[in-house]
Amino acid sequence: MIQLLSPKNFKDYELIDVGGFEKLERFGQYITIRPEPQAVWDKTLTNAEWEKRAHVKFISKSSSSGEWKKLKAMPERWTLSYKVQSSKLESSKTLNFETLNFKLSLTSFKHVGIFPEQASNWDYIFDSVKLMKTPVPRVLNLFAYTGGASLAAKAAGADVTHVDSIKQVVSWSKENMELSNLSNIRWVVEDALKFVKREEKRGNKYNGIILDPPAFGHGPNGEKWKLEDNINEMIKGVLNLLDESEHFLILNAYSLGFSSLIIENLLKSKAKENLNIGELFLQSTEGPKLPLGVFGRWRNF
């Protein structure tokens, strides 16, 4: 069965409306308008209503960059929080280490430093680490971006290795760790596929592995990544790094036309009956659902 997952308790984030190849979002107290290639339907609200609400709008200058047009006063950088959830904890009880804090920023490539739909995976990671019998589970986060998954694993008590090819993004992740009152995440600036191959040779094992690869990308030394060309090789290597005693794995992919059935075919030989596949989405306040990637995940405990 294909699952549809959307964050339920992300109070600092709201997808207000989406359509006309754009999305209207609230991050904390600030509202942005950003391009969204999958929003091929019409907006629910009018353009005038969007611009009346928004603080800032991203204006594309090319396929990969642009600039922000300020509609109301707001800072270039601000913070946002998310409380991870665990099935081991009563919903009424919240502890400091469960709060993840993120620095957000108006970047020239339209992102602000967080992918809110991933909160569904953060809860799964946090819960998985909490449920493990291994005293300090080892977790590997590949293509880790600004580190939401790394923070979730660390907050649950894992020994975390965070791998991304862009040094500035890893520095951003470190800021998020410090904002979240966490410490001792291992930072690795390297091509993810090269890192996995090296870990295979070393015989290293992990209790949890998270992958969120881009459709296209480059390593720090010009290594080329193309999802459909490289994902099979990557998965074969990653499966060899899983600790057999107990483990979980998450593969998330955001690429237009990439089906969750592809994820199933990549993972089913290892996961068998425990594999869950599906689609991540954000539910807008005005009604439309925005699809934002397919996933496969399982745990063997």
Spatial separation of the C-alpha atoms in residues 185 and 127, rounded to whole Å: 19
Q: How many CB atoms lie within 10 A of CB 259?
A: 14
Local confidence band at 284 (pLDDT 50, 70, 90 cut-offs):
very high
Beta bridge partners of 83: 99
Tell me, letter by letter, the H, E, C secondary structure of 97-131: HHEEEEEEECCCCCCCCCCHHHHHHHHHHHHHHHH
Spatial separation of the C-alpha atoms in residues 296 and 263, rounded to whole Å: 6
pLDDT value of residue 94: 41
User: Where do we find the tokens 């991203």?
Assistant: 58
Strand 159-164 relative to strand 56-60: parallel, antiparallel, unpaired?
Answer: unpaired
- In total, how many domains does the chain have? 1
Distance from chain centroid for Cα 204: 24
For the purposes of burial, counting CB atoms within 10 Å of the CB of 274, is it exposed (0-12), middle (13-18) or buried (19 or more)? middle
pLDDT value of residue 92: 39
Spatial separation of the C-alpha atoms in residues 280 and 301, rounded to whole Å: 24
Tens digits of residue pLDDT in 86-114? 765 544 344 434 899 999 999 999 999 99
Residue 290: which domain range? Answer: 2-299
Cα dihedral: 240, 243, 245, 248 (round 10)? -100
Amino acid 283 reads Q
pLDDT value of residue 87: 65
* Phi, then psi, of 242 in degrees rounded to 5: -75, 130
Beta bridge partners of 208: 139, 248
Closest CA to 126 of 98, 101, 102, 91: 98
Spatial separation of the C-alpha atoms in residues 6 and 174, rounded to whole Å: 26
Residue 192 · residue 165 · CB < 8 Å: yes
Instruction: For 54-66, give one letter per residue: b (16+ CB within 10 A) or e.
Output: bbbbbeeeeeeeb
Residue 222 has pLDDT above 90, yes or no: no
pLDDT value of residue 274: 87
pLDDT value of residue 95: 42
Residue 236 has pLDDT above 90, yes or no: yes
| Interval 185-196 mean pLDDT | 97
Tens digits of residue pLDDT in 201-221? 999 999 999 999 988 888 888
| Interval 255-259 mean pLDDT | 80
CATH number, position 249: 3.40.50.150
Per the structure block, which two tokens stand in for 76?
Answer: 């270039």
Given CA atoms 187, 193, 198, 202 in this order, what sign does their dihedral have? positive
Tens digits of residue pLDDT in 34-70? 999 999 999 999 999 999 999 999 999 987 789 999 9
pLDDT value of residue 217: 86
Tens digits of residue pLDDT in 154-178? 999 999 999 999 999 999 999 999 9
Output the pTM of the full model. 0.94
Mean pLDDT for all residues in the chain? 93
pLDDT value of residue 73: 96
pLDDT value of residue 88: 57
Spatial separation of the C-alpha atoms in residues 146 and 77, rounded to whole Å: 14
Q: What percent of the chain has pLDDT over 90?
A: 83
For the purposes of burial, counting CB atoms within 10 Å of the CB of 157, is it exposed (0-12), middle (13-18) or buried (19 or more)? middle
